[in-house]
Chains A and B, each alone.
Chain A
Amino acid sequence: MNSSTTNVARFNEDPTLGSGKKVEKRLVGNAVWALAYRELTRFFRQRSRLVGAIGQPIIFWVLFGAGLRNSFQAPDWASNLEQPVSYQEYFFPGIAVLIVMFTAIFSTISIIEDRREGFLQGVLAAPVPRSVIVLGKVLGGTILAVLQAGLFLLIGPLLQQLGLTTGLQLQLQLVPFLVAAAFLIVIAVELTALGFLIAWPMNSTQGFHAIMSIFLMPMWLLSGAFFPGDGTPWLLWVIKLNPLTYGVAGLRRLLYSGSLPVTETLPSMTACLVVTFGFAALCLFVCSRLVARPMIQNVT
């Protein structure tokens, strides 16, 4: 029996690790990464999640793009472009955001499983700030979302080369791609945190799916991702009030290297940045307040 031979250092208790606050920050960082790494490990062990999160949006993109090609009317901001915008091209950033949304949903739905399987109560009883749970989940979900959406941004032009899509005039270059990927990180944080605060009080995955159907999917549909919405005043107002509109519009602008004009359906890059960053910060703040409240259903 040699179980007591290792000297265990805890938060703020081992002077050899450095000063208190610094050590605590590092150890909190380790805890966040441990939970995020757990998300990644779980994801890559469930291949069906990969198929669900990236496969379905690509199928949507190819099929809707082909089916609505002839009936699509280009939005107001496309009039200045050299070539007319095809529906597949219009839909391209929207699909990237849909991938982020699906990944965020799948990541945050695991909170309900964690609670049901008992894992969550082990984390709640640990000596880490409760916000670590939020940050770990959001970090893990964000990494997965950006990996998949980034992969899609690369695959899209490839599908064009293979003749599976038509009319995609975007020539993705390294710098715009990296800037777009950076903006995708903010959208991913926004949507994962939003998914977290929806999932946290829920007891069943069925309930989460219901919310997804009546709230998250319409939120995406009314973000300018699927259709422009110009010509219908009330619809345009709904789209303007939807924070995700600014994520889709910001991504669209970055993919076109900022060459698009500001119009009724396409807000400025400044507005996109302010709203997307602001909504992400708001969702994170609400999440951290939510997890700090004790809830009896968190214990099994």
Chain B
Amino acid sequence: MSHSESATSLFAVTVDQVSFDYGDSLALQKVSFGVSAGCLFGLLGPNGSGKTTLFRLLATLIPMQRGQVTVLNHDLASQPQRIRQRLGITFQSPALDVRLTVRENLDCHGAIYGLPKKTIRQRSDELLADLQLLDRQHERVERLSGGQKRRVELAKGLLHQPSLLLLDEPSTGLDPAARRQFWSLIQAHRKNMTIIVTTHLMDEAEQCDQLLLLDQGKVVAEGSPADLQASLPGERLSIQLQSSDSVSVAQLKSDIERLLKATGQQAGDRLVFRLKNATDALQSLMDGFREHVKTAEVARPTLEDVFLEKTGRDFAMAEASATESPTKTQATKRKKASL
């Protein structure tokens, strides 16, 4: 995809033919997309898909190598300082000083973003109230729960009223209740702001207006969650198998595929089929293999199915292959020579 200059102003972010490598490891390969102003845009992919590299590029933390990125009408390579003024960032690993209090962290952050003291105080009061942190404002960050730290990090990201908010895996380490609360806060603060979120969680991705699916540094699909799901015809039959000494999972897979006249995708003891009429197939399955089925479920195709359809691998497989040689990947990423 290539975005013309006339369309640039409609987009808060345009990414055009961007590639990035850590020495001999290619993290992004000719990635292109646009993020409309005011959009909640998700970068979805398994670990190692390149979304964190993309996040670091947009956050101006690593330099451009190839391609072009425009953020809020400023060229990322030549005007990073202009971009930083209008960028709010919530890091996956909170960028907080744990020995300072919540209020002190906000004071320090406001000062390095060039805000006058009075403004810092006013904005902090507003945000601490909104994010339900007012009663913890004089508490040291090291004494806060994971969810509270996330909210402090979000308050930092919002303190200078950014035009673009970057969220890197914002729900990592949060329990479901804290995750729901965090997302409701993000939704409440969306006004007049574009948000880009990186995630590998499907429920988080479904909150986005637009999604970009990444795998091995390449774009595999783009669209709204509903459109992406609707792009897959039929229904999804998901089966968890119960193997035994006499029958292996591989044998069961082969038998079930013969019965359903379809090819399934296997991940461990799970089989997934995409079928025109999964309800009838479920009936046949239960008639023939009841004793070998732990659970079976018919559902609409999920974003994970879209990923599976586009890449031939599910998220678990993709993450496993990304972590197969972590030493090499880490060692390569540590190399600064190419930067």
Total number of A-B contacts with CB less than 8 angstroms? Answer: 138
Query: Quick check: which of A8-16, A255-263, A276-284 contacts chain B, the rest being far away?
Result: A8-16
Closest Cβ of chain A to B118, distance in Å, is 9
Does the CB pair A31–B111 fall under 8 Å? yes
Residue among B87, B126, B158, B334 making CB contact with A125, cutoff 8 Å: B87
What separation, in Å, do the CA atoms of A117 and B94 have in the docked complex? 8
Does the CB pair B94–A118 fall under 8 Å? yes
What separation, in Å, do the CA atoms of A299 and B91 have in the docked complex? 10
A31: chain B residues within 8 A (beta carbon): 111-112, 114
Residue among B85, B92, B94, B109 making CB contact with A10, cutoff 8 Å: B85
A6: chain B residues within 8 A (beta carbon): 119, 122-123, 126, 161
Does the CB pair A38–B108 fall under 8 Å? yes
What separation, in Å, do the CA atoms of A122 and B158 have in the docked complex? 13
Does the CB pair A127–B84 fall under 8 Å? yes
Q: What sequence of 0s and 1s flags, for each residue 101-117 of chain A, a beta carbon within 8 Å of any chain B beta carbon? A: 00000000000001001
Does the CB pair B126–A3 fall under 8 Å? yes
Can you name the residue of chain B whose Cβ is closest to the Cβ of A201? B336
What separation, in Å, do the CA atoms of A118 and B104 have in the docked complex? 16
Residue among A33, A46, A203 making CB contact with B111, cutoff 8 Å: A33
Residue among A45, A123, A125, A203 making CB contact with B60, cutoff 8 Å: A125
Does the CB pair B119–A122 fall under 8 Å? no
Q: What sequence of 0s and 1s flags, for each residue 34-62 of chain B, a beta carbon within 8 Å of any chain A beta carbon? A: 00000000000000000000001001111
What separation, in Å, do the CA atoms of A8 and B158 have in the docked complex? 11
A2 on the B face (CB < 8 A) = yes
Closest Cβ of chain A to B196, distance in Å, is 14
A41 on the B face (CB < 8 A) = yes
Can you name the residue of chain B whose Cβ is closest to the Cβ of A42? B99
Closest Cβ of chain B to A259, distance in Å, is 46
Does the CB pair B115–A8 fall under 8 Å? yes
Does the CB pair A11–B93 fall under 8 Å? no
Does the CB pair A299–B62 fall under 8 Å? yes
Closest Cβ of chain B to A295, distance in Å, is 5
Does the CB pair B100–A41 fall under 8 Å? yes
What separation, in Å, do the CA atoms of A300 and B95 have in the docked complex? 10
Residue among B60, B115, B191, B336 making CB contact with A9, cutoff 8 Å: B115
Q: What sequence of 0s and 1s flags, for each residue 1-31 of chain A, a beta carbon within 8 Å of any chain B beta carbon? A: 1111111111101100100000010011011
- Given contacts A1-B130, A6-B123, A118 and B95 within 8 Å (CB-CB): yes
| Most interface-central of A117, A119, A295 (chain B CB within 10 A) | A119
What separation, in Å, do the CA atoms of A6 and B92 have in the docked complex? 27
B113: chain A residues within 8 A (beta carbon): 10, 126-128
- Given contacts A10-B113, A118-B94, A125 and B84 within 8 Å (CB-CB): yes
What separation, in Å, do the CA atoms of A232 and B159 have in the docked complex? 62
What separation, in Å, do the CA atoms of A125 and B81 have in the docked complex? 9
Does the CB pair A4–B87 fall under 8 Å? no
- Interface residues, chain B, with chain A CB atoms under 8 Å away: 22, 56, 59-63, 81, 84-87, 89, 91-100, 104, 107-109, 111-117, 119, 122-123, 126-127, 130, 156, 158, 160-161, 188-189, 191-192, 333-336, 339
Given contact pairs A9-B114, A31-B112, A41-B104, enumerate 12 new A-B contacts (beta carbons under 8 Å).
Answer: A1-B189, A4-B161, A6-B123, A10-B85, A28-B114, A38-B104, A114-B97, A117-B96, A123-B112, A294-B339, A296-B334, A299-B56
Closest CB pairs A-B (n = 8): A122-B95, A34-B111, A127-B84, A27-B114, A118-B93, A127-B85, A11-B114, A126-B112
